[in-house]
Amino acid sequence: MTAPFPNLHLPATARLQLRPLDVSDTQRIFEIWSDPQVMRFYDVAPLTRFEQAEQVVARLMQDTAERTGIRWAIVSTHDGCVIGTCGFRLNFAFRSASLGFELERRHWRQGLMREALGAAITYAYDHLAMNRIQATTELDNRASAGLLASLGFIEEGVMRQWGYWKDAFHDVRLLSLIKSDRASSQAARSPANGN
């Protein structure tokens, strides 16, 4: 039997905890995923029925149980409230992971997602033996592209008409972070190097 994915406590901040998504989070997922602004660049429409949130949570929990993915609830340590999620689709054979995330709108632009993703990425490299983490963003999603760039992701190009959702084809940017690139970047920023 494989070990469950852990709760993650971020070492650099007291603001967040990451823990595996649970059925008890369904109401909060419905509230967050029903916001058209949060879901603007998602490949699914905003949720309109609670049953849709139940299906989302069940699917994400099944991915975790089967170890094909992991989705953490991002929990504010201030009040214990779920404010978003982040996680990966995992390909252990390729040692690669695809990143996904969203955050409740009232918590935008506070650096919270950067902290959450930093912890998740470190876990993927150090404990899941991933080598490559990739993400896609719609071309107009400058906030997510900027966030990923701040974490060291490199844009590899545009995948034309990569997917079909919300009654249209969508071009997306493909960005990636390779383990060795991240290690080099962190070494360059370390105090020993005078930065």
Q: Which amino acid is at 119?
A: A
d(CA 34, CA 48): 6
**63-72: average pLDDT:** 91
Between the two ends of the chain, the Cα-to-Cα distance in Å is: 45
This prediction's pTM:
0.86
User: 37-54: string of b/e by CB count within 10 Å (b at 16+)?
Assistant: ebbebbeeeebeeeebbe
Contact yes or no for 53/29 (Cβ under 8 A): yes
Decide if domain 8-133 falls under CATH 3.40.630.30: yes
pLDDT in tens, 15-63: 899 988 999 999 999 999 999 999 888 878 899 999 999 999 999 999 9
Judged against a pLDDT cut of 70, whether residue 90 lies above it is answered with yes
User: What's the distance, CA 28 to chain centroid?
Assistant: 17
